């Protein structure tokens, strides 16, 4: 019953991966320029395995000065742990943009001061896995708890069968639209686009002197790649196919680059989103600056909490001619520093927080996914508990559960070199004048050259 919400990797598609506050999915630094030369936690031994009594948990949720349900969730989780355990956890907050598109996390590890516990998405998993930074969580997880995760969700958090991260959420992407904007343009639900050509046509009708018809992310980073991948997949392309050779120089990738380029050239999409990016629904859709916006499930909670009276709808991503519908399934995970001050205690905390079959862990997951935030729960027991509470009765949330998520693929885990080649191609087409075929060929050459020397964990 509850497992219907998410599908596993699609047959014949080698890019397998499984974001995030405001659709920020991706990872701790956009360009991957900072190598992980060291990995010990602050004050810990370089070899790890210490017995420190306080663990530092870096995150971008809390505690914050401004009241926030998501911040409170983190604070209360840590407070509950600290009340019953000798080894304490201390939260260290970093602003979202600083954590995700900045370099503090990588810089800390390079200086031998990496946090004991931190958040990463599949998009940045290999950076830390290949640097031997991540602690094996498997010994602290019961077999029934591992089986409780939805099929495919743990795949990109595993290496050689061992689990190195526990996801706290699954966040598929869709398109949100403003109902008032549609009505003003003489459009209705019957005009919701199902193809790329229809999307461009509708966006043109919605564009006027005060508003753009459509918004895709234009800020380079892991999040932009995350939001672009579904368009590549729907055309049958992948950045790293199963045969190990670059598949980016192919019709599907070229068509996806072309689509995003057309939206800017036609003047129906902005070159720069408002607020902190195209994952911010309040700054963009609610403000009236755009009529349709691509973002994820987290925007449902943002709308409920910050724009309760705004009238909107949700629909799944349109498909290209002959293409198969696909969306990207993001989600952050808790991970532990294998060379931190007390890796075993850090792993134990993560298993307790997110991966226990105890009622408290299940309820904690339900609260996160359907009360303080809106995501698809990554665990079957949490999905069941949420459904019993009527969490998915909201029309927009139900659209994500019934229509959007079933066609999803987990976010791929690519090394920084692959991510950067794709990012450069998107930017060259979207905001530059490079022909999509040229950008795709350039990126494919870089990816192919890198793959010939790559020796890390499997690229999924």
At residue 10 the predicted structure's pLDDT band, cuts being 50, 70 and 90, is very low
| For residue 16, pLDDT beyond 50 | no
Peptide bond into 265 cis (omega under 30): no
- Residue 163 and residue 157: Cα distance in Å, rounded? 6
- Please provide the DSSP assignment of 135-185 as one string: PP-GGGS-HHHHHTBPTTTTGGGEETTEE--EE--BEEEEEEEEHHHHHHT
Residue 8: what pLDDT? 32
- Residue 179 and residue 321: Cα distance in Å, rounded? 27
Strand partners, 203: none
| For residue 431, pLDDT beyond 50 | yes
| For residue 386, pLDDT beyond 70 | yes
Instruction: Kindly list the structural domains of the chain, giving each domain's residue range(s) and its CATH number in brackets, ordered by start.
Output: 2-170+330-401 (3.40.190.10), 172-328+413-451 (3.40.190.10)
- Once rounded to an integer, what is the mean pLDDT over residues 101-125? 93
- Residue 460 and residue 452: Cα distance in Å, rounded? 16
At residue 108 the predicted structure's pLDDT band, cuts being 50, 70 and 90, is very high
Token pair belonging to 40: 């010990």
At residue 283 the predicted structure's pLDDT band, cuts being 50, 70 and 90, is very high
Say which range, 236-245, 391-400, 432-441, 447-456, has the weakest mean pLDDT: 236-245
- Once rounded to an integer, what is the mean pLDDT over residues 401-410? 92
Q: Give the torsion sign (CA, 182, 188, 189, 193).
A: negative
- Cα–Cα separations (whole angstroms), residue 299 to 188, 382, 387: 22, 20, 20
- Cα–Cα separations (whole angstroms), residue 44 to 41, 316, 389: 5, 47, 44
Nearest alpha-carbon partner for 221 in 58, 21, 420, 410: 420
- Once rounded to an integer, what is the mean pLDDT over residues 401-425? 94
Residue 453: what pLDDT? 94
- Residue 47 and residue 49: Cα distance in Å, rounded? 7
* CB-CB contact of 230 with 296 (8 Å): no
């Amino acid at each position: 019953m509850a497992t219907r919400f998410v599908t596993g990797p699609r047959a014949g598609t080698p890019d397998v991966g499984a974001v995030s506050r405001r659709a920020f999915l991706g990872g701790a630094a956009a360009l991957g320029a900072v190598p992980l030369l060291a990995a010990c936690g602050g004050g810990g031994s370089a070899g790890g395995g210490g017995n420190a009594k306080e663990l530092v948990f870096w995150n971008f949720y809390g505690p914050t000065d401004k009241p926030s349900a998501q911040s409170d969730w983190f604070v209360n989780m840590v407070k509950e742990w600290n009340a019953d355990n000798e080894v304490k956890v201390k939260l260290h907050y970093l602003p979202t943009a600083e954590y995700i598109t900045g370099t503090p996390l990588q810089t800390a590890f390079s200086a031998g001061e990496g946090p004991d516990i931190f958040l990463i998405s599949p998009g940045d998993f290999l950076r830390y896995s290949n640097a031997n930074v991540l602690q094996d969580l498997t010994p602290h997880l019961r077999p029934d708890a591992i089986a409780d995760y939805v099929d495919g969700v743990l795949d990109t958090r595993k290496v050689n069968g061992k689990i190195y991260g526990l996801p706290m959420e699954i966040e598929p992407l869709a398109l949100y639209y403003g109902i008032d904007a549609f009505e003003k343009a003489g459009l209705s639900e019957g005009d919701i686009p199902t193809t790329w050509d229809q999307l461009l046509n509708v966006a043109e009708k919605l564009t006027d002197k005060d508003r753009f018809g459509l918004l895709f992310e234009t800020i380079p980073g892991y999040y932009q790649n995350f939001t672009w991948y579904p368009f590549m997949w729907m055309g049958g392309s992948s950045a790293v196919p199963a045969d190990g050779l670059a598949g980016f120089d192919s019709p599907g990738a070229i068509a996806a680059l072309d689509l995003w380029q057309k939206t800017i050239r036609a003047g129906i999409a902005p070159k720069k989103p408002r607020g902190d990016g195209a994952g911010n629904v309040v700054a963009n859709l609610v403000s009236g600056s755009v009529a349709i916006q691509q973002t994820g499930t987290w925007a449902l909670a943002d709308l409920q909490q910050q724009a309760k009276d705004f009238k909107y709808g949700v629909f799944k991503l349109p498909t290209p001619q002959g293409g198969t519908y696909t969306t990207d399934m993001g989600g952050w995970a808790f991970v532990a520093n294998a060379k931190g001050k007390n890796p075993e205690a850090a792993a134990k905390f993560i298993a307790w927080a997110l991966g226990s079959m105890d009622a408290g862990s299940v309820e904690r997951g339900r609260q996160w996914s359907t009360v303080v935030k809106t995501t698809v729960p990554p665990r079957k027991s949490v999905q069941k508990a949420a459904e019993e509470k009527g969490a998915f009765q909201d029309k927009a949330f139900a659209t994500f559960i019934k229509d959007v998520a079933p066609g999803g693929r987990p976010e791929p885990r690519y090394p920084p070199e692959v991510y950067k080649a794709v990012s450069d191609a998107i930017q060259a087409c979207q905001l530059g004048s490079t022909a999509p075929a040229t950008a795709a060929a350039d990126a494919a050459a870089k990816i192919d050259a890198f793959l010939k020397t790559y020796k890390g964990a499997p690229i999924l």
